[in-house]
Amino acid sequence: MLAQQSLLYVLIVGLVAGWLAAKFVRGSGLGLVGDIVVGVVGSYLGHLLLPQAGVNLGTGIGATIVVAAIGASVLLFLVRLVRRL
């Protein structure tokens, strides 16, 4: 799905998802570039894991942002868990 979208779309979704994930996982954000990276990687993770779990949120930018935010939240949770070890 990400390969079919424009770079600007991916960056905007990544930024919003990374920011939402940072707020959801009780953080202050990682800055503009950090939020974009976490959001883009989280988007990939969300689009990979949610269908495997039988979750389909539909299509459109809203669903894409929600899936990306869920994936980014999982990614941030795992990163913070690993940092504690």
* Residue pLDDT, tens place only, 37-78: 888 888 888 888 888 888 888 888 888 888 888 888 888 888
- Mean pLDDT estimate for the chain: 80
Q: What is the DSSP letter of 26?
A: T
Q: What is the mean pLDDT of residues 5-33?
A: 78
Q: Is residue 35 part of a domain?
A: yes
Cα–Cα dist 52/38, whole Å: 21
Cα–Cα dist 24/9, whole Å: 22
Give the up-direction half-sphere exposure of residue 85: CA atoms within 13 A in the CB hemisphere: 5
Per-residue model confidence (pLDDT) at position 85: 66
Give the count of domains, the chain.
1
Q: Is residue 10 part of a domain?
A: no
Structural domain range at position 28: 17-84
Q: Which residues contact 56 (CB under 8 A, 6 or more apart)?
A: 50
Q: Is residue 7 part of a domain?
A: no
- pTM for this entry: 0.78
| Residue 13, burial from CB neighbour count under 10 angstroms (0-12, 13-18, 19+) | buried
Per-residue model confidence (pLDDT) at position 48: 86
Q: Is residue 12 part of a domain?
A: no
